[in-house]
Structure 1
Amino acid sequence: MAIDTSILVSGSLFAAAGALALLAWPLVQQWRQRRAATRTIDAALQRQAAQATAGQAAAPAAPGAEAAGQGAAAMSPRAAAAAAALARGTAPAGVAGAATAPASLGAKLGAEFGERFNQRWLDSRLGRAVVTAEEQALLEQCGFYGVQPRAVFGGLRVLGPLLLAACVFAWRLDGTLLSALVWTFVAFAVAFLLPKMVLRRWARNRVRQVAEELPVLIDMLRLLQGVGLSIDQSLQIIVAEFGTLLRVLGPELQRANQQFASGRSREQTLQRIGKLFDDEDLKSLIMLLTQVDRHGGAVQEPLRQFGERLQVARKARMKDKIGRLTVKMTGVMVVSLLPVLLILTAGPGFLGVIRMLSRMNGGNG
């Protein structure tokens, strides 16, 4: 009985430790993300300071390069190169070399034919029925833009169910025809709805990831604004230097910078991101940035207050989540620990009663 008690106590402590680890995992993950962001920001600021010192020590090579030298002194070499490439409307050296290389006639014809075929397929009646506006919005939330991803998704929703239904029909053909048709219909329906369900879940996870990355983006903007950079320079540096930290917002901001370099206004490029993810905090941040970009003014203090408000809301959400987890863990504890507790407390009494009844039966016999 002592061995059983120690095993049960050890199992209970192990289950409690596992539950505490599950509750602490989001906090640990947030701490690691903030630590990585702090290290990256410190390294970027050190590189900017070194670049600024080198720019002040060196003489300008040409009168026309003075403004470019001042802008590059405020940014790291990587960000300055990216900003210069976007301002000229060209790509960096490696990309420009690959883009300016003479493409073969077959590759051009193949790309043009594929583009036209995909567009005709999407404009057809079947294409409009398979890839609706909702699926297009989900694809953009998942980071897939253009005609080709929509055509691939539509082809997957058409060819996949047909192939699976044909395989299931051939597999169930040995039985009755009615059962084969039912299994075929079920397989077709599941294969047709599964890509959209996966895409919707993926988009929901990316929207949740945007809410997780938003405080990091605000801290970066506040620090870069504190060293005297403008909104455009801050966004360029965030995309060039901290794109690995912002897995969802980084590519979207890069696309916004490309659209801004192609002639669109900063307000249009940023509002597209707010409409895409439909997050109220993100929309508030975009509204703040567009107002500062349009009218000017200091943005560091509003960003600090906005970041504090986000942290308070985040803590409230975490408390709510912990409260729901506590209720769920209560049911788990009742199911798993209550039988053990009954065995430990009432087990010796039941064993004593059983022994007494066996003795009484033996005495009567």
Structure 2
Amino acid sequence: MSADLFATLVALTLVFGALTLGALVWWAISASHNRRVQRRLLPESEVANDIDIGTSNPVLQGIASRGKAIEGVLDSEGASARLMIQAGWRSTTSRLVFYVLQGLTPLLLLIGAGALWSVAPERLTAKPLLLVLVALMALMLGLLLPSMVRSRRAKARQARLRAEVPLFIHTLVLLFESGLSTRQAFSSLVREGRGVLKELGREVEVLLRQLEAGADMADALTKLADTLDVADLSTVLLLLRQVDRYGGEVKEPLLDTLQVIEDRREMDLREKVNLISGRMTVVMVLFFFPALIIFVAGPSWISLIRALGAIGK
């Protein structure tokens, strides 16, 4: 590949990146201007598709708008809002960061791919088709990477929520035994148990705010269980919903639910132990037994070979 062609590719990459960045800034400014016009001319209830991200920066607003548009294309099943809550990203700041990254990551990866391509060996830069494939892969990765990070974050937080369920049940049993109602028990749990139940404490605090705003207890518990999508926690919340709506004893059902959860976890732990035992057997057969045979039978085999060699002489 000649030096002129190499310089041309580098220049085209830089120009493409600059044009894309300029278009993004222009879209950000125009989107911010359109939102201001809508807020001034239309009632607040009629302003649609506006992103409440807690910032007046027009550039960030525009980038976040593009990020939400990309998310709308990728989220065909409408699970984005639920994943946000499962990941713990309820605040406007966290949503701002996610949408900005969703809007910027494809551009940054495209620029990065162009920069890497510009310093690639000549045998690679001489293949335009490979350049197109690299650009497409960078674009696809940039589009999917923020959603993948959010999904992993949501799964990790669901695991932490699941781990806090037994302690959550024990705490509720103690609070109910002291004569508190469901709402009073939740309020006491937020005030005094927030440091112990870090993830569940945040969710219960949000639940209390909804109840103080006038939401129905049964509906709020059902919505929380469906949103978090943690099987053990959903069982407890639906049990509290039934007790709040129909009344009845709550201590024994909670303890029975705790016993079922512990039995289920014990079975899962036994299954994991069995899998680990099988894997360790394979490791021992492949690596430990040959070394043991060499260590135990090696000296005798060496002595036997030497004796046979002496007899042959």
Q: Separation in 2 of the partners of 1:351 and 1:120?
A: 74
> How far 1:264 sits from its partner (Å)?
0.4
Structure 1 residue aligned with 2:24:
none
Between the aligned residues of both structures, percent identity stands at 29
Contact 1:169 1:181 in 2 (8 A): no
> 1:193-342 counterparts in 2 under 5 A?
193-342=144-293
Cα 1:254–1:155 change in 2 (3 A) is same
> How far 1:237 sits from its partner (Å)?
0.9
Q: Secondary structure of the residue that 2:179 maps to in structure 1?
A: coil
The superposition leaves residues 301-331 of structure 1 with CA deviations (integer Å, 9 ceiling, x where unpaired) of 2212222222222212211121111112222
Mapped pair 1:129 → 2:73: yes
Q: Separation in 1 of the partners of 2:62 and 2:204?
A: 27
Cα 1:266–1:125 change in 2 (3 A) is same
Q: What TM-score, normalized by structure 2, do the two folds share?
A: 0.71
* Aligned residue among 65, 83, 104 for 1:159: 104
Letter of the 2:65 partner, please give it. Answer: W
Q: Separation in 1 of the partners of 2:67 and 2:214?
A: 28
Letter of the 2:265 partner, please give it. Answer: R
Q: Separation in 2 of the partners of 1:285 and 1:157?
A: 35
Q: How many residues align?
A: 253
Unaligned runs of 5+ in 1: 1-109
Q: Separation in 1 of the partners of 2:229 and 2:163?
A: 14
> How far 1:332 sits from its partner (Å)?
2.1
Q: What TM-score, normalized by structure 1, do the two folds share?
A: 0.62
> How far 1:112 sits from its partner (Å)?
5.7
Cα 1:118–1:223 change in 2 (3 A) is farther
Mapped pair 1:142 → 2:64: no
Higher RCO structure, 1 or 2 (CA under 8 Å, sep 6+):
1
Mapped pair 1:350 → 2:295: no
Q: Separation in 1 of the partners of 2:67 and 2:133?
A: 32
The superposition leaves residues 197-236 of structure 1 with CA deviations (integer Å, 9 ceiling, x where unpaired) of 2221221122222221111111000011111111111111
Unaligned runs of 5+ in 2: 1-53
The two structures, once aligned, show a CA RMSD in angstroms of 2.8
Q: Secondary structure of the residue that 1:248 maps to in structure 2?
A: helix
> 1:8-157 counterparts in 2 under 5 A?
111=55, 117=61, 121=65, 125-126=69-70, 128-130=72-74, 133-145=78-90, 149-157=94-102
Contact 2:189 2:201 in 1 (8 A): yes
Structure 1 residue aligned with 2:6:
none
Q: Separation in 1 of the partners of 2:300 and 2:252?
A: 69
Contact 2:243 2:250 in 1 (8 A): yes
The superposition leaves residues 40-96 of structure 1 with CA deviations (integer Å, 9 ceiling, x where unpaired) of xxxxxxxxxxxxxxxxxxxxxxxxxxxxxxxxxxxxxxxxxxxxxxxxxxxxxxxxx
Contact 1:259 1:269 in 2 (8 A): yes
Cα 1:197–1:191 change in 2 (3 A) is same
Q: Separation in 2 of the partners of 1:138 and 1:250?
A: 18
Q: Separation in 1 of the partners of 2:296 and 2:163?
A: 46
Contact 1:166 1:184 in 2 (8 A): no
Mapped pair 1:168 → 2:113: yes
